[in-house]
């Protein structure tokens, strides 16, 4: 065996780093979806749990946002694809000078920041609505409608780019041939150009749908009082994360993976080399048929769903909770021992929940969701006079904790 020289290993190392960089966050995210910890994280590992999926399904706001997102995505595809196709066909038929300037105009929405598109869409339709004296229930003020139109402005340009690269390879004499053989211009379009463009239409549809689904900076303005998947997620990030977001990621990654695997299987199945291999092996032929691959993956997915529904991690989480209570109890006893009895009235129950509401159900420990979460939660702010930080070293007295509380401020003033 030959020992590889260091230079020959560089591509390998590079690739490893590259893939780690690409997939590392995804892998971490997937793992966090199954940790019972209240904040999405890998360590400390608490319990293997599938509860976050249940929580996700029970999250009405997220489900509603997802529904809106899918509806908007569908609307965007329906509007943007014909516009993009028309633009590409037009560009392919005009003269070079006009094409250059038209191209710049068509492509401009991609270069304009999404925020600007979002704001201008909102303002424009508001003006139009005002002009027509439309009531606030009319579509001029409807978040779904505005978002579709706002997103279409730049997604149509994306899809135009996809169509353009395909249409450049189209042989225009094919259309002429169709016309010459008696086809009407419509027939020539439907029977010759459209089938040729079909693959591009497929990829543009997927692209447009995904671009719509993941769009945030335009949508956040145009969605008005409604919500989409991305706006719900972003508000979740702002007001406190929990691993149900990781659960969303797991679902999206799984769907993508299943789709990609089936697509790849289909391609391989129809490739020439594989066709020759399976010609004499009927078993292999059926086993590798994309349909059967899809069926296997579908069964696996159903199995995963059933497992998630039925897996019960309550025993483990209860155990963890118990451990934490015990630990906290110990810490508090320690604190009581170290601090003079008269200096501060020690609390009898720990109120430091990571997420305010869940405070009683699980033990505190998260650096972000824990202390930080409670600092910003309004209840804690108002009740800060009688709340004591958990770590004894940082909280020598109640006076320090209450400095910023409004009551204390007024109290100082009256002195």
Partner 1 sequence: MTKEISLEHVWVEFGEFTAVQKANLNIAGGEFFSFLGPSGCGKTTLLRCISGFQEPTRGVVKIGGKDMKGVGPNKRPTALIFQNLALFPLRTVADNISFPLEVRGVDKKTRRKRADELLELIALPGQGDKKVSELSGGQKQRVAIARALAVEPDILLLDEPLSALDLKLRQHMRTELRSIQKQVGLTFIYITHDQGEALTMSDRIAVMNKGKIEQIGDGKSIYDHPTTSFVASFVGENNVLDATVLTNDGKMMEIDAGLGTPFKVESHPAGGPALIPGDACQLFIRPEALKITKDENSINQFDSQFVSEEFEGNMRHIVLDAQGKKIKLSLINDGANAIGPNAPVKLGFAPELGIALKPGELASA
Q: Which residues bind partner 1 (CB under 8 A)?
A: 171, 173-174, 176-184, 187, 191-192, 195-196
d(Cα 77, Cα 84) in Å, to the nearest integer? 10
Taking the complex as a whole, the smallest distance from the CB of residue 190 to partner 1 amounts, in Å, to 10
Distance of CA 343 to the CA centre of its chain: 50
What lies within 8 Å, CB to CB, of 156 at 6+ separation is 79, 80, 81, 83, 84, 87, 109
Six-digit token pair at 244?
């149900």
Q: Which is nearer to partner 1, 199 or 396 (CB)?
A: 199
Taking the complex as a whole, the smallest distance from the CB of residue 189 to partner 1 amounts, in Å, to 12
Q: Which is nearer to partner 1, 72 or 193 (CB)?
A: 193
Q: Which is nearer to partner 1, 56 or 193 (CB)?
A: 193
Taking the complex as a whole, the smallest distance from the CB of residue 207 to partner 1 amounts, in Å, to 22
Q: Which is nearer to partner 1, 198 or 299 (CB)?
A: 198
What lies within 8 Å, CB to CB, of 140 at 6+ separation is 125, 126, 128, 129, 132, 134
Name the residue among 200, 100, 129, 112 with its Cα closest to residue 160: 200
Q: Which is nearer to partner 1, 195 or 298 (CB)?
A: 195
Taking the complex as a whole, the smallest distance from the CB of residue 165 to partner 1 amounts, in Å, to 17
What's the burial of 223, exposed, middle or buried (CB within 10 Å: 0-12/13-18/19+)?
buried
Six-digit token pair at 414?
């009256």
Distance of CA 237 to the CA centre of its chain: 12
Six-digit token pair at 86?
């028309």
Taking the complex as a whole, the smallest distance from the CB of residue 180 to partner 1 amounts, in Å, to 5
Taking the complex as a whole, the smallest distance from the CB of residue 186 to partner 1 amounts, in Å, to 10
Q: Which is nearer to partner 1, 195 or 367 (CB)?
A: 195
């Amino acid at each position: 065996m030959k020992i590889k020289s260091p230079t020959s290993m560089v591509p390998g190392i590079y690739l490893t780093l590259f893939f780690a960089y690409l997939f590392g966050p995804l892998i971490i995210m997937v793992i966090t979806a199954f940790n019972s910890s209240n904040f999405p994280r890998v360590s400390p590992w608490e319990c293997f749990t599938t509860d976050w999926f249940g929580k996700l399904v029970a999250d009405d706001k997220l489900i509603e946002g997802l529904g809106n997102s899918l509806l908007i995505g569908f609307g965007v595809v329906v509007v943007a694809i014909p516009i993009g196709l028309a633009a590409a066909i037009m560009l392919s038929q005009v003269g070079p000078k006009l094409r250059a300037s038209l191209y710049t105009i068509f492509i401009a929405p991609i270069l304009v920041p999404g925020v600007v598109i979002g704001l201008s869409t909102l303002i424009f339709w508001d003006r139009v609505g005002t002009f027509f004296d439309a009531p606030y229930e009319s579509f001029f003020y409807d978040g779904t409608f505005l978002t579709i139109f706002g997103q279409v402005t730049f997604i149509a340009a994306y899809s135009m780019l996809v169509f353009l690269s395909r249409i450049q390879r189209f042989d225009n004499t094919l259309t002429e041939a169709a016309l010459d053989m008696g086809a009407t211009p419509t027939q020539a379009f439907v029977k010759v150009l459209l089938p040729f463009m079909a693959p591009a239409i497929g990829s543009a549809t997927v692209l447009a749908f995904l671009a719509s689904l993941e769009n945030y900076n335009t949508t956040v303005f145009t969605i008005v009082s409604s919500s989409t998947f991305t706006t719900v997620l972003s508000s979740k990030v702002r007001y406190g994360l929990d691993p149900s977001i990781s659960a969303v990621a797991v679902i999206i990654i799984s769907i993508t993976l299943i789709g990609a695997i089936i697509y790849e299987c289909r391609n391989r199945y129809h490739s020439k080399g594989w066709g020759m291999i399976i010609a004499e092996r009927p078993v292999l032929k059926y086993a590798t048929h994309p349909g059967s691959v899809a069926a296997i993956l579908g069964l696996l997915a159903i199995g995963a769903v059933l497992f998630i529904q039925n897996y019960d991690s309550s025993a483990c989480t209860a155990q963890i909770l118990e451990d934490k209570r015990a630990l906290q109890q110990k810490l508090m006893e320690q604190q009581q021992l170290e601090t003079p009895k008269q200096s501060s009235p020690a609390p009898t129950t720990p109120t430091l929940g990571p997420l305010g509401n869940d405070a009683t159900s699980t033990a505190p420990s998260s650096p972000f969701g824990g202390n930080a979460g409670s600092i910003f939660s309004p209840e804690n702010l108002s009740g800060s006079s009688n709340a004591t930080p958990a770590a004894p070293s940082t909280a020598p007295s109640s006076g320090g904790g209450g400095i910023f509380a409004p009551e204390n401020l007024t109290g100082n003033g009256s002195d």
